[in-house]
Structure 1
Amino acid sequence: MLKQYLDIHPEVQAALEQGKPVVALESTIISHGMPYPQNVETALKVEQIIRDNGAVPATIAILKGRLKVGMSQEEINYLGKAGEAVIKTSRRDIPFIVAKGADGATTVASTMILAAMAGIKVFATGGIGGVHRGAQQTFDISADLQELANTDVAVVCAGAKSILDLGLTREYLETQGVPVVGFQTDKLPAFYTRESDFSVDYRLEQPVEVAAAMKAKWDMGLKGGMVIANPIPHEHALDKALIDGAIARAVAEMDEKGIGGKASTPFLLAKVAEITEGHSLTANIELVYNNAKLAAEIAREYVAR
């Protein structure tokens, strides 16, 4: 049934059939994360980092109504040029994008769904979505969290985006039984900075330990994903006071303009980049590179078990 909707790139399909490591990648970072051609250059470099570390990259999107798991360079370039004209696509949007034959850039949630359809267990991204600031009134909670509770894919990230309410995000994950693993850290990373005020569930030091926990979880039929929180490298981390001030200004402007829902995260990230004179965007790119490397290492260990 899935074959009528799903296109798995031949290289990715061959790797899966041969038991080789594969790492899924999202596409909203291409369409909504940064301008062209920087978005395409970044996406291709992330793929190369995964290859250099012994795994096969599978960038995921929806193109002309087809679910794409693994994309050609031409397809990535097309997506990057189209930019924000491409629909930001979460779980609820997938059937409508497919039915219309439209283009969709996948979020963390929808990337997890398509990765699971193809049988990919490891996914590298920048930061997961979470509970937005003020959610007590707005109920603005990212679909990423519910997907992590239900879909068997491990997500390597630099924690939750620091524009969010990290405390409530942490509580939500705990309630849903989603394990939060700190890779060589006891504290939940806060995207642009290496630490927050919140602890992780388990600190693991090596990719093989992460892979062993993933295998045990899914072998026992324990449904849902796993957050692998990998701090941004020291040399690229931003000053906490600087980034907290920029986020506070961005959130105030967002509230003033009445922006919410799926538009809130792109607005906040763009505004923070503007306030920090591009330093936050540089940090974002570097942490994605760092996560791609770790994801490839974990995927290698996972298929070896």
Structure 2
Amino acid sequence: MIDIQYSAEVRAAKDAGRPVVALESTIITHGMPHPQNVEVARQVEQDIRDAGAVPATMAVIQGRLHVGLEPEQLAALGQAQGVAKLSRADMAACMAGGGTGATTVAATMIAARLAGVEVFATGGIGGVHQGAETTFDISADLHELAQTPVTVVAAGAKAILDLAKTLEVLETLGVPVIAYGQDAFPAFWSAQSPLAAPLRMDSADEIARAHAMRRALGLPGGQLVSNPIPAADQIAADELAPIIASAQADAEAHRITGKGVTPYLLQRIFERTEGRSLTANIALVRNNARLAAEIAKALLPLQS
């Protein structure tokens, strides 16, 4: 039996039929240093409240799945050492062993499904890594989107990835990729990319209706809502391209592979943009949280 612990706020929201938005916890444990990690996590939660929904930050603490964190739990997680980074492959093992782990996109979607939460806000999803034709390095996030019925609001896929191949895999897996308010697929720190998004929707209501229709049709999986970073907060793609290329060359030279690739590249890009990439990252996460709250509110009257 799964041991799920709801925070008081999330429990009250579920009992009252209020909209809830899932949040991941790797931004707290692996995304940025303390105390900024806790400050940003609290700000994102407050953005969701201010938009009329309730935040549910997911985490595994001593083997128990937490749906929503109490303030003291969030603060403790922000300073905890040795916290596992959980995806589909290792979530069950962590819980069965009484461990503590932060949820990635895939694990957060699993937790949201178990809790009956249908909308999730994150920064950017994982995807197909550069050189995947030889390394086969493809994020579990893509397969999770194909099988778990959660609408995920992100600023596209992380710009360090092969965005074109990521879109191809999502298409093959039958995942709707929706650009919010524009025709182009956003590129995480940049609002635009040369790639066209398969779908465009201009309102939270439209996205919520599409989610509800997928449920009615019995289609597995969720939706990826690609929400561009606000123009005032973005870093232009042509400025980022040589920085990303240089960071990738460094990773290859140092033989960085597997789960180590993404944090290595993000740190290199942080250094070479003098911290602007992290500032942009915070802005886009907050922007995604606000849109996710609007979608959750619009979805509430459509739930069966």
In 1, Cα distance between the equivalents of 2:210 and 2:67?
Answer: 25
Deviation at 1:246, TM superposition (A): 1.3
Matches within 5 A, 1:199-218: 199-218=196-215
User: Quick check: 1:114 aligned with 2:111?
Assistant: yes
- Show the counterpart of 1:226: 223
- Show the counterpart of 1:52: 50
- Show the counterpart of 1:67: 65
Deviation at 1:199, TM superposition (A): 1.3
Output the TM-score relative to the length of structure 2.
0.97
Residue 65 of structure 1 contacts residue 97 of structure 1 at CA under 8 Å; is this kept in 2? yes
- Show the counterpart of 1:142: 139
- Show the counterpart of 2:164: 167
What secondary structure does 2:80 align onto? Answer: helix
Residue 149 of structure 1 contacts residue 224 of structure 1 at CA under 8 Å; is this kept in 2? yes
Deviation at 1:102, TM superposition (A): 1.4
- Show the counterpart of 1:20: 18
In 2, Cα distance between the equivalents of 1:303 and 1:159?
Answer: 25
Q: Which residue of the other structure, out of 294, 297, 303, is the alignment partner of 2:300?
A: 303
Unaligned runs of 5+ in 2: none
In 2, Cα distance between the equivalents of 1:175 and 1:151?
Answer: 16
Deviation at 1:257, TM superposition (A): 1.5
In 2, Cα distance between the equivalents of 1:241 and 1:196?
Answer: 10
What secondary structure does 1:101 align onto? Answer: coil
Matched residue pairs, number?
A: 302
Q: Which residue of the other structure, out of 257, 261, 264, is the alignment partner of 1:264?
A: 261
In 2, Cα distance between the equivalents of 1:239 and 1:200?
Answer: 19
Deviation at 1:14, TM superposition (A): 2.7
- Show the counterpart of 2:174: 177
- Show the counterpart of 1:282: 279
Residue 8 of structure 2 contacts residue 70 of structure 2 at CA under 8 Å; is this kept in 1? no
Deviation at 1:249, TM superposition (A): 1.2
Output the TM-score relative to the length of structure 1.
0.97
Deviation sequence 1:5-54 (CA, Å, 0-9, x none): 22122321232233210000001111111111000000000000000000
Amino acid across the alignment from 1:7 = Q
Matches within 5 A, 1:25-44: 25-44=23-42
Residue 24 of structure 2 contacts residue 103 of structure 2 at CA under 8 Å; is this kept in 1? yes
Q: Which moved more, 1:184-193 or 1:246-255?
A: 246-255
- Show the counterpart of 2:290: 293
What secondary structure does 1:277 align onto? Answer: coil
In 1, Cα distance between the equivalents of 2:242 and 2:203?
Answer: 34
Deviation at 1:150, TM superposition (A): 0.2
Matches within 5 A, 1:121-132: 121-132=118-129
Q: Which moved more, 1:237-246 or 1:227-236?
A: 237-246
Amino acid across the alignment from 1:298 = I
RMSD: 1.0
Deviation at 1:230, TM superposition (A): 0.3
Matches within 5 A, 1:231-250: 231-250=228-247
In 2, Cα distance between the equivalents of 1:46 and 1:54?
Answer: 13
Report sequence identity in percent: 53
Residue 16 of structure 1 contacts residue 119 of structure 1 at CA under 8 Å; is this kept in 2? no
- Show the counterpart of 1:79: 77
Deviation sequence 1:195-246 (CA, Å, 0-9, x none): 1121112111111111111111112111101000000000001022221111
